[in-house]
Amino acid sequence: MSKPIPHFTLLGFAMLMWASDAIAQGEQNLTIFGSIASWPPGKTTFVSAIESNGLRLRHTRIEDEACGARDFLEFDGPIGPDTGAIVEPLLNAMQPCGASPIRGTVILSSGGGEIADGYVLGALLSRYNVATAVMQGQVCASACVAAFLGGSPRYMLDSAWLVLQSPYRSPGIGIDCENAQQADELRSYFAARLGSEPGALLHERAMSNCSAPRGWTIAMEEGKELAIVEADSSPLERQLADGSLNFMADNAARPGVVTTASGLQYEVISLGSNTDASAPASSSPAASSPTASSRVTVHYHGTFVDGRVFDSSVERGQPAQFPLNQVIPGWTEGLQLMKAGDKFRFFIPPELAYGEAGRGPVPPNTPLIFEVELLEIAGAN
């Protein structure tokens, strides 16, 4: 990604785990098939869906200010001889965004299938002029990789995996590396999809890893080096953004909301007995407010801007304790404006939260809202 992603430590791991549970139970249909990521709330329409022999397909549409809507096809499951016939009507229903020549994006999650069926599906995706993507938490193996290479452009996000060649000892998954005809077919397909030089390099690497026990697993950075995927994934990330970035500008105009120099917004819900209500939060003496090196105990309630809860110590009935310099910047800055007993509501822009990459159930470029009650302040770490 273009910049480091701020992170929680003790609190953060808990937040992401519980948030994932909340999404799965409360908004399961917003989870991208096979991924840990979710579609943006309030902006997503599911046009149609098909399930057949373990294969799940869903035509998904996201509102887009620039062109009205962007189309995606979610693909999750095995690739077989009938897959192309099942997929084609959904590809045909996808519409390009404005004047773009690209019909939409196919998101692939699959353990594979016969490599020849992957060739057929990849050629179909190329003919329909779609982009392809593998999202956070997804694995695209063997025949799926062949299909993936049929897209242009091709994107991978962090924590996504390609398994380019499964062991030849597993018939029906990869190729028989000792079979010259199958090796030549693989070389020809790579050249057709990527061009002669990148295709030859990929073929050479695939064959050298062909008998590896778990195949050749490729992460995002290696995929970029091999020219399998785009070096810049920000166009896809922008398409998947929450779309609620205007929320911060609109919210800043509300009475009672204060915006700091960094772009953090907050409003006071209630003040503790040690807080002077006549003084602005930013003028609180350092001795009675936490510093960046303090350890704090808080109750908090985190939501997206549509009100959907993704994490809450209040709902769990257990306060959280953590060092203030090891959480996202919005928390580090915001809690230093408080005193013990205060309760604030923070509106945190993406650049002070999880930024361009998102994290777990938090989509890229997503503002977050936290109600925070500061219970206790301890000394420096």
Question: What domains lie within the chain, and their CATH numbers?
Answer: 44-239 (3.90.226.10), 246-380 (3.10.50.40)
Is residue 21 within 8 A of residue 327, CB to CB? The reply is no
Reply yes or no on whether 76 is catalytic: no
State residue 169's pLDDT score.
47
Q: In whole angstroms, what is the distance from residue 300 CA to residue 371 CA? A: 5
Reply yes or no on whether 8 is catalytic: no
State residue 113's pLDDT score.
85
Catalytic residue among 36, 62, 328, 369: 328
State residue 279's pLDDT score.
52
Residue 196 to residues 193, 228, 301: CA-CA distances in angstroms? 9, 13, 54
Reply yes or no on whether 46 is catalytic: no
Instruction: Give the Cα-Cα-Cα angle 57, 74, 149 (nearest 5 degrees).
Output: 110
Catalytic residue among 32, 311, 322, 369: 311
State residue 248's pLDDT score.
81
Residue 278 to residues 46, 266, 271, 281: CA-CA distances in angstroms? 50, 17, 11, 9
**Is 284 strand, coil or helix?**
coil
Strand 294-303 relative to strand 309-312: parallel, antiparallel, unpaired? Answer: antiparallel
Closest CA to 218 of 319, 334, 138: 138
- pLDDT tens, per residue, the chain with 381 residues: 233 333 333 333 333 233 333 333 333 467 899 987 778 877 889 999 999 889 999 999 998 877 889 999 999 999 999 999 999 999 999 999 988 899 999 999 998 888 889 999 999 999 999 999 999 889 998 899 999 999 999 999 878 899 876 544 455 456 777 778 888 888 999 999 999 998 898 888 888 877 776 678 888 999 999 889 999 888 888 787 654 446 787 788 889 999 999 999 999 999 987 666 555 554 444 448 999 989 999 999 998 876 778 888 998 899 999 999 999 999 999 999 999 999 999 999 989 998 877 776 677 778 899 999 999 998 654
Reply yes or no on whether 64 is catalytic: no
Catalytic residue among 75, 304, 310, 322: 310
DSSP 40: P
The CB-side HSE value for 87 (13 A sphere, CA atoms) comes to 31
Reply yes or no on whether 266 is catalytic: no
- Model confidence, pTM: 0.61
Catalytic residue among 8, 300, 304, 347: 300
Catalytic residue among 342, 346, 370, 377: 370
Reply yes or no on whether 50 is catalytic: no
How would you write 139-192 as a 3-class SS string? EEECHHHHHHCCCCCEEECCCCEEECCCCCCCCCCCCCCCCHHHHHHHHHHHHH
Is residue 377 within 8 A of residue 324, CB to CB? The reply is no
Say whether the peptide bond before residue 361 is cis (omega within 30 degrees of 0).
Answer: no
State residue 174's pLDDT score.
65
State residue 173's pLDDT score.
57
Catalytic residue among 190, 354, 369, 377: 354
| Cross-strand pairs, 123 | none
